[in-house]
Amino acid sequence: MAWTWRFEKADGTEVQPAVEPEEFTTQGDAESWIGEVWKDLVQGGTDQVVLFDDGTKIYGPMSLHGDEE
């Protein structure tokens, strides 16, 4: 299993993330990573993320802006 993130603008357009992601072996590892780097991702132009497990969408889009908007 490979857990991966898709990085998007608010309109759903895919963007290149400011922090290079990896493939994660667990959902928890993927979510922990997002928790550590989300501010850098937002500063780099990512508005939301979608989580996939082996290409299957698990959830998202999830805004990285929190209460800012």
What phi and psi values does residue 20 have, to the nearest 5 degrees? -70, 120
Q: Could you state, in order of their start, the residue ranges of all structural domains in the chain?
A: 3-53
Closest CA to 50 of 39, 37, 62, 41: 62
Band the pLDDT of 68: cuts 50, 70, 90.
Answer: low
Q: Is the model's pLDDT at 31 over the cut of 50? A: yes
Among the ranges given (4-8, 11-15, 17-21, 41-45), the one the predictor scored with the smallest mean pLDDT: 17-21
Structure confidence by residue, pLDDT tens digits, 39-65: 999 999 999 999 999 999 999 999 999
Return the pLDDT at 69: 45
Global model pTM greater than 0.75: yes
